[in-house]
Amino acid sequence: EKWVYSFAEGNANMKPLLGGKGANLAEMTRVGLPVPQGFTITTEACRAFFKSGKRMMQELKPQLLHALERLEAAKGQKFGDGSNPLLVSVRSGSVTSMPGMMDTILNLGLNDNTVAGLAKLTRNERFAYDCYRRLIQMFGNVVFGIEAIHFEQLLLRLKHSLGVKQDQEVAAEGWRQLIDDYKLCVKRHAGRDFPQDAHEQLELAVEAVFKSWNNQRAQIYRKINRIPDSQGTAVNVQSMVFGNMGDDCGTGVVFTRNPSTGENALFGEYLVNAQGEDVVAGVRTPQPIDRLKSDMPDIYDQLARVCKQLEHHYKDMQDIEFTVERGKLYVLQTRNGKRTAQAALKIAVDLVAEGVTDKYEALQKIEVSHLDQLLHRGLDESKVTEVLAVGLPASPGAAIGVAVFDADTAAEWKKAGKRVILVRPETTPEDIHGVLAAEGVLTSRGGMTSHAAVVARGMGKPCVCGCESIRIDPQNKHMLADGITIAEGDWITLDGVTGRVIRGAIPLQEAKVTDELVRMLQWADEVRTLRVYANADNPEDARTARAFGAEGIGLCRTEHMFFAPSRLAVMQKMIMADSPEERKKALDQLLPMQQADFEGIFEAMDGLPVTIRLLDPPLHEFLPQLDELQHKLQQADSDAERQQWKHMIRKVQSLHEFNPMLGHRGCRLGIVYPEIYDMQIEAIFKAAVACMDRGIAVLPEIMIPLVGDASELKMLRELVDQVADQVLGADHRRDCKYKVGTMIEVPRAALTADRIAAHADFFSFGTNDLTQMTFGYSRDDAEGKFLSHYLDKKLLPHNPFQVLDAEGVGQLIELAVQKGRSLKPALKTGICGEHGGDKDSIAFCHQTGLDYVSCSPFRIPTARIAAAQAAI
Ligand code: ADP
Ligand code: MG
Ligand code: MG
């Protein structure tokens, strides 16, 4: 089996095998860009490595050696050779980009002997020993798991003793001293010497990079981004180029467009006389890329050309790593750059306008989960008073929370329900669980391309970094800004658009729909076949939904109309009624209220279908809790009042059920108390008549919940038709093309869908209940009790209440669609659960041939794009 490919053998399409970094290094080599030579060990090798118990496979060794020999021949150098040593980096590279989550080691091949050779060869002692000390630190950290802090402390001590501040001020002699300290440090913590044998170094490094696939932060990152654990990482072995040989050298990261705003201008940072990790690790705050124009104009022009070329080649904004060695430019990595939602839209629309790509590709590139961010945030500027500091606007959006100064506390407090802002001098990839828990991230050091910034942007979280005027003291859990101390637990607000750090909790404002979003949504509408409806229970939500492009209402929950305080009292009277007459009286009072709501909704949706679900929840939900009533009873100060509370207590007791979600609810209510449904149906049709008389086109679709047997629907459909006949005169009857349908949310309904279809004009899959009943998980309890353990232990890939379980629940949906359509080919079908706004679930709906998805108003733009993506 071939486990090793030289860069000259691969190409961009080999990502699954070579990883993203490896495939792109090969692709860039292929098109003639200046890439240092090297080779890639495949992801298959990584999987084999884990299968053989995390041991280097015997068959890999000769392949590795052979590739190394070819590299030596090409470079005219020898690995481990004292006079002309080959040095390499060993770089992780997964299939799906996971910035900074895994490990890389530079300067491999250096030892006490080769370092002297390198010094002689380059006539630069300082440089050679600088490389060596970096190797020992990275190797110690990655291979032996020695925490970076131990090395950093030694470095600090050295600089202190030399009386210097910056690394660049340390001379060769200083580095030599540090190397001795580092070696002792390795010996003490790892219990063995730093390996002097170059081949041993390489083998250990490759193993360590394989293993880094399973380090904690990589696992968390995969979980958030739904990256399969089985992918594995490739390992790239690449000959070194050096940005730390002097002032005609440097290293940097450049985005071909601005990843925050999408503006078409190079964006990035670099450091003169530095090695790769220095920029991304955020230890020194780098220079903006524009400065390169004056520092090294030729290099800048060359870099700009490379950027254009790569952008055209990959048809997308690129995130590029480069190094300049003695006035020569090298490209070390390219990938599609992470970006904010706003930038993503602007870049996509611009690239279509520039003719680089087309609308289909543009749509596919939209990360729909980020649209949420775009459709909400924004500070209410009138409330911004105390700006504490301004840092780099690394990831836009506003974040409000209490300051915490370490990742563990961030995670804990978030679990306890608090909103937190993670504040760190700089974040390292070890902090990822804190970033995940935080509303936003603030750092005092590190640039726009530091890991904190990249990871925050990737998660769509606001981030302000490099805020150097703030003194952050993580030990004592506070920070000092503009003379003000902010302690752990104090409220702050971050504005990732301007980089402002603001004291207190600043209220947010709704975001506007930008031109780019409008354009993208137009394209989405041209491409998609799935319709997008909204869940809306009142006229205002209906208007919002329509403004966001809803093509109808897929779920109007009538019970929400009863929860307003003035109505709840009447509703309670209705439930408490002892006789049908009494109940009728209360219902008569409720009718005009419901009618008014429906009129408002019909008006807002003029000409579009409105799906109204008849009463669904168990009646006890409208009555107070038992202990609350008991308390009221004790407080009562008249006999009459006491009687009243006792009466209610008896009612609540009589309504008590052991499994209310499997109890007297949905159509079961309509069957036992037909007068309730009767009133609701009457209100719907009266509202329809009133609206039609005002010239509004009304398309009511009456939906019966929780049907499990065709007979239930048959009986209630007759009720609907009967009330319709009474309320709609012959004229209105003609113009009011109402539908009657059912929710499919009980597994038995899915199984008998052909019989149910006989009485239904449409099916709407209530995937919340359907998931609950198919899994047998109470959706109100599962998450807190056991579901999170299931997810942690990977017994389930996702929370099935968030991402539709295509494997199980999905079968029921497919079956029901197929059975329903076998009887009525034109049967309308859709879903109305929480899943209606989730992109994977939307893709499933598209594949299953549903007619529509219904989701909350703010998710409609997301759903329109996801539906288009599913159709491409
Ligand atoms: P990450 O995925 O964390 O970015 P990389 O493998 O890309 O890790 O490497 C980290 C840093 O080291 C980058 O800045 C990269 O450009 C630099 N680097 C990697 N290999 C080499 C090399 N052969 N020569 C010079 N710099 C390198
Ligand atoms: Mg990189
Ligand atoms: Mg339901």
Residue 100 in contact with ligand 1 by CB distance below 6 A: yes
Residue 254 CA, ligand 1 centroid: distance in Å: 14
**Ligand 1 close to Cβ of residue 241 (< 6 A):** yes
Out of 88, 89, 213, give the residue to mutate to test ligand 1, the one with the largest number of ligand atoms within 8 Å of its CB: 89
**Which residue lies with its CA nearest to atom 2 of ligand 1?**
100
Tell me the per-residue pLDDT of 702-716, one tens digit each, with 9 for 90 and over: 999 999 999 999 999
* Residue 352 placed within a domain: no
pLDDT tens, residue by residue, 804-821: 999 999 999 999 999 999
Does residue 801 sit in helix, strand or coil? coil
| Torsion sign over Cα 801, 441, 392, 502 | positive
Does residue 210 sit in the same domain as residue 257?
no
**Any atom of ligand 1 within 6 Å of the Cβ of 233:** no
The CB of 106 under 6 Å from ligand 1? The reply is: yes
> In the 3-class helix/strand/coil scheme, how is 108-160 assigned residue by residue?
ECCCHHHHHHHHHHHCCHHHHHHHHHHHHHHHHHHCCCCCHHHHHHHHHHHHH
Q: Is the CB of 486 under 6 A from ligand 1?
A: no
Asked whether 567 and 683 are in contact (CB, 8 A), the reply is no
Are 208 and 264 part of one and the same domain? no
Q: Is residue 575 part of a domain?
A: no
Query: Counting Cβ atoms within 10 Å, is residue 731 exposed (0-12), middle (13-18) or buried (19+)?
Result: exposed
Question: Are residues 634 and 673 both part of a single domain?
Answer: no
ipTM of the complex: 0.94
Higher pLDDT, 100 or 530: 530
508-556 pLDDT, tens digit per residue, is: 876 667 899 999 999 999 999 999 999 998 998 899 899 999 999 999 9
Residue 536 lies in a domain: yes
> How high does pLDDT run on average in the chain?
92
Give one DSSP letter per residue of 277-288, joined into a string: HHHHHTSS--EE
How much is the average pLDDT of 299-327? 96
pLDDT tens string 232-245: 999 999 999 999 88
Is there a contact between 425 and 444 (Cβ–Cβ < 8 Å)? yes
For ligand 1, the distance from its centroid to the CA atom of residue 301, given in whole angstroms, is: 22
What six digits make up the tokens of 557? 């929950």
Ligand nearest to the CA of 779: 3
Pick from 854, 836, 769: nearest CA to 554: 854
Answer whether 36 contacts ligand 1 (Cβ < 6 A): yes
The ligand placed nearest to the CA atom of residue 97 is: 1
- The atom number, within ligand 1, closest to the CA of 88 reads 23
Residue among 472, 383, 376, 462 nearest 423 (CA): 472
C-alpha–C-alpha distance, residues 128 and 141, integer Å = 20
Secondary structure of residue 866 in the 3-state scheme = helix
* Structure letter (DSSP) for residue 624: P
In short, whether 332's Cβ falls inside 6 Å of ligand 1 is: yes
State the distance from the centre of ligand 2 to the C-alpha of 321, rounded, in angstroms: 7
Q: Which domain holds residue 632?
A: 624-656
Helices in 213-296 by DSSP H: which ranges?
A: 216-224, 277-281, 290-295
Whichever domain contains 764, its CATH number is 3.20.20.60
Distance CA 539, CA 844 (A): 30
Given a contact cutoff of 8 angstroms between Cβ atoms, the answer to whether 116 and 130 are in contact is: no
What is the rounded distance in angstroms from the CA atom of residue 741 to the CA atom of residue 851?
Answer: 14
Stretch among 382-396, 706-720, 765-779 having the lowest mean pLDDT: 382-396
Instruction: Confirm or reject: Cβ of 837 under 6 Å from ligand 1.
Output: no
Closest ligand 1 atom to Cα of 238: 23
* CA-closest candidate to residue 763, choices 720, 681, 705: 705
Residue identifier of the C-alpha nearest atom 12 of ligand 1: 276
In sequence order, the β-bridge partners of residue 79 are 86
Residue 313, domain CATH: 3.30.470.20
Q: Are residues 329 and 429 in the same domain?
A: no
Ligand nearest to the CA of 286: 1
* Domain end among 239, 263, 290: 239
SS3 472: strand
Residue 91 Cβ inside 6 Å of ligand 1? The answer reads yes
The answer on 719 and 594 residing in a single domain is: yes
Instruction: Give the number of other CB atoms < 10 A from CB of residue 847.
Output: 13
pLDDT of residue 283: 62
Choosing from 213, 239, 265, the residue where a domain stops is 239
Q: How many Å apart are CA 762 and CA 854, to the nearest integer?
A: 14
> Is residue 362 in a domain?
no
Say whether both 830 and 856 belong to one domain: yes
Position 194 pLDDT exceeds 70: yes
Tokens of 123: 């006539």
Burial of residue 670, with CB atoms counted within 10 A of its CB: 0-12 exposed, 13-18 middle, 19 or more buried: buried
Is 631 inside a domain boundary? yes
The H-assigned helical ranges of 6-81 are 15-30, 43-51, 60-75
Q: Which atom of ligand 1 is nearest to the CA of 321?
A: 16
Q: Say what the pLDDT of residue 688 is.
A: 97
At how many degrees (to 10) do helices 639-655 and 565-576 cross?
80
pLDDT digit string, tens, across residues 624-637:
888 888 998 999 99
Secondary structure element (H or E) that encloses residue 41, with its range: strand 38-41
Together in a domain, 670 and 542: yes
> Residues 442, 464: contact at Cβ < 8 Å?
yes
Residues 156 and 16 both lie in one domain: yes
Task: List the structure tokens of 863.
Answer: 């759903």
- The finding on whether 333 has its CB within 6 A of some atom of ligand 1 is yes
Tokens 């019989």 correspond to what residue? 755
| Residue of the CA atom closest to atom 8 of ligand 1 | 104
pLDDT score of 377 more than 70: no
Substitution candidate for ligand 1 out of 88, 321, 331 with most atoms within 8 A of CB: 321
Q: Are residues 115 and 17 in the same domain?
A: yes
Residues with catalytic annotation? 451, 832
pLDDT digit string (tens) for 346-367? Answer: 999 999 999 999 999 999 988 8
For the cut 70, the answer to whether the pLDDT of residue 393 exceeds it is yes
Cα of 624 vs centre of ligand 3, distance in Å, is: 22
The Å distance, Cα 99 to ligand 2 centre, comes to 7
Neighbours of ion ligand 3 (CB under 5 A): 745, 766, 769
| CA-angle at 301, arms to 297 and 303, nearest 5° | 115
| Centre of ligand 2 from the C-alpha of residue 121, in Å | 28
pLDDT tens for 408-455 read 999 999 988 899 999 999 887 778 889 989 999 999 987 777 777 877
Last residue of a domain, one of 636, 656, 676: 656
Any domain includes 371: no
From atom 6 of ligand 1, which residue's Cα is the shortest distance away?
91
Query: So what's the pLDDT on residue 376?
Result: 61
Residue with CA nearest ligand 1 atom 20: 89
Among 570-574, 790-794, 818-822, the range scoring the smallest mean pLDDT is 790-794
Please check whether residue 487 is in contact with residue 468, taking contact to mean a CB–CB distance below 8 angstroms: no
CA-to-CA separations, 430 to 102, 335, 792, in angstroms, rounded: 10, 23, 19
Q: Which residues pair with 855 in a beta bridge?
A: 534
Residue recorded with tokens 């041939």: 849
- Residue 489 vs residues 440, 472, 847: alpha-carbon distances, Å: 14, 14, 48
Span 768-774, average pLDDT: 95
Q: How far is the CA of 9 from the centre of ligand 2 (A)?
A: 21
Nearest-CA residue for ligand 1 atom 11 is: 276
Instruction: Point out the ligand nearest to the CA of residue 134.
Output: 1
Q: State whether the beta carbon of 238 lies less than 6 angstroms from ligand 1.
A: yes
Residues 539 and 467 in one domain: no
In a domain, 18, yes or no: yes
Centre of ligand 3 from the C-alpha of residue 663, in Å:
12
Spatial strand order in the sheet of 88-94: 4-6, 38-41, 233-239, 88-94, 104-108
Beta strands in 496-587 (DSSP E): 500-503, 531-535, 553-557
* Measured distance CA(704)–CA(713) in Å, rounded: 7
List alpha helices for 191-286, DSSP H.
Answer: 198-212, 216-224, 277-281
CA of 836 to the centre of ligand 3 (A): 14
Q: Are residues 603 and 491 in the same domain?
A: no
Element (H, E) at 523: helix 515-527
The C-alpha atoms of residue 186 and residue 193 are separated, in whole angstroms, by 7
Helical (H) or strand (E) element with 92: strand 88-94
* pLDDT reading at 461 higher than 90: no
**pLDDT value for 568:** 87
Query: 552 with 605, same domain?
Result: yes
- From atom 14 of ligand 1, which residue's Cα is the shortest distance away? 276
35 within some domain: yes
How far does Cα 360 stand from its chain's mean position? 22
- Tell me what pLDDT residue 281 has: 62
Residue pair 18/234 in contact (Cβ under 8 Å)? The answer is yes
Mutate to test the pocket of ligand 1, among 237, 333, 450, 454 (most ligand atoms within 8 A of CB): 333
Q: For residue 744, report the distance from its CA to the centre of ligand 3, in Å.
A: 9
Tokens 């002297």 identify what position? Answer: 116
Q: Are the beta carbons of 194 and 183 closer than 8 angstroms?
A: yes
The domain total for the chain is: 5
* Residue 37 Cβ contacting ligand 1 at under 6 Å: no
Amino acid at 800: P
pLDDT, position 324: 97
Give the closest residue (by CA) to ligand 1 atom 18: 276
